[in-house]
Chain A
């Protein structure tokens, strides 16, 4: 499975980067989500894969051995939530930029103060 996850992470990053470079706000957000997912996948796989053994200590026991690596899981859990926060904020920005600037093309959003655009 390792090789599959490596391939998937590569696909996700490539597709995400490609969408982000498209210059449209909605595909950009799609790309951002994909790259977030790829990052989580990479962290998860870096902790090594263990099939079907969640890091849960049985009732009465003091510790376990041979379970999935708990550390990357804890990291990803927060990463997913933070990624979601970022996405929500980016969505709000995308909506607002369309509302104010009247465009979803990012290459047209090149003036720091709208109304004084410098063409390039």
Chain B
């Protein structure tokens, strides 16, 4: 499982590094009584690769995502995107963020919410393949909602708008923080498939934080399993399912084998007292 990378899965993944997290340590609190949230974390995401991060609560996966988004700084270690330090990368608008809640602006139309990344920091729009918000919305099945306001949309549609907002300015890296966790299961699966389909024809480096094992498997090329106290990487699992994938993958033996493997890996990282 560790080495079985199928050729289909890597066709569109370049060997060049997209995101490089190198020996990152991060703690909170005063010196001396510091709570270590991330301890010497290193991993990389190749260009065009989809990597999920999964682990128990308190393993620091959200902190890791905030570090890669440039929203917080590491105590030690470095984060680079396409070779640039994360500060420089965000200045060049290289990173798109899909937060846990859609976080749309309620006073803006769907169109104007999606075009927000184009409106701000417009210096970084030079030499960039900006997408037409209308076109990206219609490919997300939201063509009819372009001129609506967020409160007129369902939760699933709002989350799709948030994803469209992250794709619209063509960033090199997409960061998603449990984007479907607020949706009900039926809706979640539908949104997952929508993202999978869109991403398969618009390959970007993705770091996807999730709580769901099936979600991590169906979407990812690799799964980073994290352990808690202190947050660290326990194992990195290759997902050697062929692409393009669709919901039929759930029913395959390969999927079930992987699911069992990932669940075991997660079980082994839960401290005895924490296992649910």
Say whether A associates with B. no
A interface residues (Cβ-Cβ under 8 A, vs B) = none
B interface residues (Cβ-Cβ under 8 A, vs A) = none
